[in-house]
Chain A
Amino acid sequence: MSHTLSYDNTFEGFLSTVFYVFEYKLSKVKIVKEERFAQTFFDIPIIVETEDEKATRIWRWLAKEAGRGACNDLYRAYLSELEGIEDDLLYFIQAVAKTKDAKHLIKNFADPTILKISKVVRKVGREKHRMDAFVRFRETKDGLYVATVEPDFDVLPLITSHFEKRYADQKWLIYDLKRNYGIYYDLHKVETVKMEMDKNVNKASYSHLFFTENELAYQELWQNYFKSVDIVSRRNTKLHLQHVPKRYWKYLSEKQPFS
């Protein structure tokens, strides 16, 4: 019989589940998020409680055995939310337990699962970098710089420090509409927030309600700038789309029709 373990959709929950697997010496395990938990006929379903202490113990042990870099990689891969990524991560963590010196195990690219994890880490890293680039703040009438995004992966935790260091003197909010939470900076610290976003906030015809005159003027200047720097005799649409895939256009000021 195999076991299907479900956890509460948090990283600590996932680590608690890993702890549980070690504690009860389970083999043939599948780990899924609560929301994806579908009981099947042959599995033994287990709902694992999240325990911060156990999560911390696993995490510290991993940092000691496999190194900080490996921990960062695992966290990043986890944020991909890809189906089955938990099982790949568990495979690696179990391999660490079995390996005498696991300091470089995350770089064993001859192992298909570890190679796969490294590829996922790169994808998540790319998405993080895209968000660093593609976030477009708009200044609201109450002086908040607000941006909405829908990243492929759950990368807000990864971009927080970048934006905190950069925009230290303005209030800002980056809201992930797909996962319905955001990060908000109030001039002192960054907090995770959940809120009801007005559904008209991204509609051009409502923008004068939310945003300052200045804001709309600078959007237009930016669109103009974007047009002016184009060199027509070198146009290469394929390359352009490769760098700025269409799914991101929705929130890019330079890609909006003139208002």
Chain B
Amino acid sequence: MNFDRIKEKLNILADAAKYDVSCSSSGSNRTNKDKGLGNASGMGICHTYTQDGRCVSLLKILLTNHCIFDCAYCVTRKSNDIKRAAFKVQEVVDLTINFYRRNYIEGLFLSSGIFKNPDYTMERLIQVAKKLREEENFNGYIHLKSIPGASDELMREAGLYADRLSVNIEIPTKEGLKLLAPDKKREDFTKPMQKITNEIIQYKSEKKIIKSTPIYAPAGQSTQMIVGASGESDAAIMYTAAHFYKKFQLKRVYYSGYVPISYDDRLPSIGTEVPVLRENRLYQTNWLLRFYGFDIRELLNKEHPNLDVDIDPKLGWALRNLDQFPVDVNRADKRMLARIPGVGMRSVHKILYARKYRKLNWEHLKAIGISMNRAKYFLVCDSSYFESKDRTPEQLKDLILHGGKSKFNNVYNGQLNLFETPQTKRIA
């Protein structure tokens, strides 16, 4: 093995793959087989973190960065003058196995530029996965990219070896796509996605009848959208996400703040700041939809097409719906507890258990770990001290944002763990 050559390829093809944010290695149920190598059945593990704080869980590389397409937002676009390289199938297999044996990674995330045509590319990706599974008895996690435009037959095969498949729709609106990636149509993305969705459903129902049915893409599908490249609203992004979650039963939708990489005047110019705070607010909204029982229409609608930047989306919702507050923590149901600003799901569970033993007061709530700065205006508990109920939303927002500088920092550090000040920000 020529290490210097591999090293050079790895640098080029890892660098080109890093804008794909998905790093999840959870949700599979693939267990170790015949005392082979690996086990993907546990929870996901981040083996290390990049210096910008993103999790490194998988060996994330492109098979090649040669590409026949010219999508303006993409660093490997045909017209970009960069170094090109391509891995051989065996080289990727060796890297994956040897990194895995040293506990560097949970598995492989393999994507690719499109060379020759979509089917030819997809076939190569499948070859890598197949080799890992069948020749190396590798039971770690494999995430393959579905290549837009690949045939149904290949997509079906991919799911037999991969734990997760994903295809990035990248641009949330059809108009944006037409402008930035004129070679591609929305259908090119949705067709392979639909195929996988159908196969997953079919394999699952067969598994119920025939136990020996092989597992098929056990960690499901995900997708990614670029934020801030095509002038879209937050509502456009989140409604598209909600649509994809529902229609294709996606496990995750990722949001990736656009990192300027080109002088193309259709795009934000080089030097423009990456919209990391906005990205953060979108993830918060995503979490409210997935785990907190919110409906998208409550958070984003015609009157509010964009999220507040200075406050989190749950607080924003609460300020627009003050008639639903204050919530009595000793009596309210789970759904309403989860809607109190400053109370996370972990605290909700703690409250539900703790209040079986006694009525909770401010001391208990503080010890449990809710973020008092925000929460105190929205709840009542077993105490005679309450915040005034006669404040307008503007007054409340002002109080929370300017309730002392240190307190402001605490709110964000304690609950969100995201950034130091609104200027330097970044989300996990």
User: Could you tell me the distance in whole angstroms from the C-beta of A6 to the nearest C-beta in chain B?
Assistant: 31
Minimum CB–CB distance from B75 to chain A (whole Å) comes to: 11
Tell me the bound Cα distance from A217 to B94 in angstroms. Answer: 13
* Residue of B with least CB distance to A214: B98
Of B49, B95, B353, which contacts A108 at CB under 8 A? B353
In the bound complex, CA of A243 to CA of B418 (Å): 12
Instruction: Give the shortest distance, in Å, between A234 (CB) and chain B (any CB).
Output: 4
- B292 at the A/B interface (Cβ < 8 Å)? no
B50 proximal to A (CB < 8 A): yes
**Contact call A243/B32, Cβ cutoff below 8 A:** no
Taking a contact as CB atoms under 8 Å apart, the answer to whether B48 and A252 are in contact is yes
A30 to B273: give the CA distance in the assembly, Å: 58
The residue among B7, B14, B52, B355 with the most chain A CB atoms within 10 A of its own CB is B52
B357 engages A230 (CB within 8 Å): no
Q: Flag the segment in B36-44, B241-249, B384-392 that touches A.
A: B36-44
Q: A107 on the interface (CB 8 Å rule)?
A: yes
Determine whether the beta carbon of A236 is less than 8 Å from that of B39: no
The complex places the Cα of A115 from the Cα of B54 at a distance, in Å, of 31
A233-253: which have CB < 8 Å to B?
233-240, 242-244, 252-253
Q: Which one, B48, B55, B60, B354, contacts A107 given CB within 8 A?
A: B354
Instruction: Give the distance in Å from the alpha carbon of A147 to the alpha carbon of B59 in the complex.
Output: 20
Q: Which A residues lie within 8 Å of B102 (CB)?
A: 136-139, 145, 218, 222, 253
For B18, give its contact among A112, A137, A224, A229 (CB under 8 Å): A229
B56 at the interface (CB under 8 A from A): yes
Q: Tell me the dominant secondary structure on chain B's binding face.
A: loop
B99 at the A interface (CB under 8 A) = yes
Docked-complex contact B49 and A240, CB < 8 angstroms: yes
Q: Which of A17-25, A34-42, A53-61, A160-168 is the interface stretch?
A: A160-168
How many of chain A's residues have a CB under 8 angstroms from any CB in B?
55
Question: Which of A62-70, A126-134, A189-197, A198-206 is the interface stretch?
Answer: A126-134
Contacts known (A218-B98, A239-B53, A239-B428); A234 close to B104, Cβ less than 8 A: no
Does A226 sit at the interface, judged by CB under 8 A?
A: yes
Q: B137 CB to closest chain A CB, in angstroms?
A: 8
Given known contacts A166-B39, A231-B52, A233-B259, A104 and B353 CB-to-CB distance under 8 angstroms: yes
Q: B residues within 8 A CB of A240?
A: 49-53
CA distance A169 to B77 in the complex (A): 42
Number of A-B contacts (CB under 8 A): 168
Given the known inter-chain contacts A234-B426, A244-B48, A254-B48, please indicate yes or no for A228 contacting B14, CB distance below 8 A: yes
Q: Is A110's CB within 8 Å of the partner chain B?
A: yes
Question: Which A98-117 residues have a C-beta within 8 angstroms of B?
Answer: 104, 107-112, 115
- Contact residues, B34-83 vs A (CB, 8 A): 35-39, 41-42, 45-56, 59-60
- Looking at the assembled complex, report how far the CB atom of B21 sits from the nearest CB atom of chain A, in whole angstroms: 10
Within 8 A of A (CB), among B207-262: 257, 259-260
Q: Is B31 an interface residue (CB 8 A)?
A: yes
Task: Type the 1/0 row for A173-184, where 1 means its CB is closer than 8 Å to any CB of B.
Answer: 000000000000
Q: Are A217 and B3 CB-contacts (below 8 A) given A168-B36, A239-B426?
A: yes
At the interface, yes or no: A135 with Cβ under 8 Å from chain B? Answer: yes
In the complex, chain A residues whose CB is within 8 Å of the CB of B259: 231, 233-234
A55 CB, nearest partner CB in chain B, Å:
29
The minimal Cβ–Cβ distance linking B7 to chain A, given in whole angstroms, is 6
Interface residues of B (CB under 8 A from A): 3, 6-7, 10-11, 14-15, 17-19, 31-32, 35-39, 41-42, 45-56, 59-60, 95, 98-99, 101-104, 137, 257, 259-260, 274, 276, 350-351, 353-358, 360, 364, 367-368, 417-420, 424-426, 428
- Extra contacts, 10 of them, besides A138-B102, A234-B276 (Cβ < 8 A), are A104-B353, A107-B350, A108-B354, A110-B355, A132-B45, A231-B18, A231-B19, A234-B257, A237-B51, A239-B428
**Considering the complex of A and B, which 4 residue pairs feature the smallest CB-CB distances, nearest first?**
A239-B53, A107-B353, A234-B52, A236-B426
Q: Can you list 12 residue pairs at the A/B interface with Cβ under 8 Å? A: A107-B354, A110-B360, A115-B367, A133-B48, A137-B101, A168-B36, A225-B59, A226-B56, A236-B425, A239-B417, A242-B417, A253-B104
